Amino acid sequence: MQPKTFGGLSATIGSIGAGALTQSPEYSFLALPVAIGSGLVWLLLATIYLYRNRNHPAVRGILLVCGCLLFVLGLTWLASGRSWSVATAIFNSDSKLITASLPGAPDSHKQKQLVEYFKTDFPNLFKTYAEVNVGATGINNPRISIQAYWDFQGRSSFVGYYIPMLSDTYQIATALADASQTTLQHFKSSLTMDTRDPADMKGTTLADLTFTGAVYVYHEKELDLQQLAALDKLYAGKGLFLQLRGHAYAATRWLQEEATRKVTAK
């Protein structure tokens, strides 16, 4: 079999193998090495074939053109001052996305931390923020962040919590199921706020806002499936809508933002 035939087969096998690996997230990191390895095999066999036929005029022309192209590409890369990179993703043992990066993402667009999303999510709403200690049986009085979201136009409100990396995250999230109304009252008792559009006759105050039952819990420590299901059932039983947001949420949000930024920059 000719070397170029071996090269074609290696390229085909490499493409199929890399494509199959990308369909399994936990093994997606192997896709790039497989593709590169197959490409190098093809390049080596093609080089051997060209070397054996180097005295042929057409082969010398091909080598000259390839050399010129590589030279130009090298100069372009040096002039651009940018490094070449690939999209990467890191998964934990449960195939949950922990962190991710996009090709050529500059340092100024590093992945945001979960706490940043806690503070910046829902940018169109009024928000009040505080740090409190959670007092409950079996919990060592941990300090967490609480936030109330006020939607004056929709005449509604809801709450959010940020739990840092704590070993008793599940117990804290369980205790917070009874803290929603307390959180809202904590802010209403020390805050006076009302809004009114100049074209309207009446304004809206904090007292006019109705609690929707939505509770957003941002947690640094990952919870297992049993804990997630138990929390969802607990909150639902109290008429609450629980939304848990961990590292997978932060990674996915960042990928969405980077994709939007790249499209906008074009």
pLDDT digits (tens, 9 = 90+) for 164-217: 999 999 999 999 999 998 889 888 888 888 788 888 888 888 888 999 999 999
pLDDT band per the 50, 70, 90 thresholds, residue 161: very high
Q: Are residues 135 and 240 in the same domain?
A: yes
Q: Is residue 102 part of a domain?
A: no
Structural domain count of the chain:
2
pLDDT band of 109, cuts 50, 70, 90: low
- Are 119 and 66 found together in one domain? no
Structural domain of 70: 3-81
Answer yes or no: is pLDDT of 139 > 80. Answer: no
Instruction: Tell me what the pLDDT averaged over the chain comes to.
Output: 76
Using DSSP's 3-state secondary structure scheme, residue 196 falls into coil
- Res. 46: pLDDT tops 60: yes
Nearest to 17 by CA among 1, 2, 5, 30: 30
In a domain, 100, yes or no: no
Residue type, 93: S
- Looking at the structure, do residues 77 and 150 belong to the same domain, yes or no? no
| Cα–Cα distance measured from residue 100 to residue 218, given in angstroms and rounded to the nearest whole number | 19
- From 33, 64, 81, the end of a domain falls on 81
pLDDT of residue 135: 76
Closest C-alpha to 98, from 222, 10, 207: 222
Q: Where are the beta strands (DSSP E) in 164-207?
A: 194-195, 204-205
Torsion of CA 184, 185, 188, 191, to 10 degrees: -100
Could you tell me if residue 90 is inside a domain?
A: no
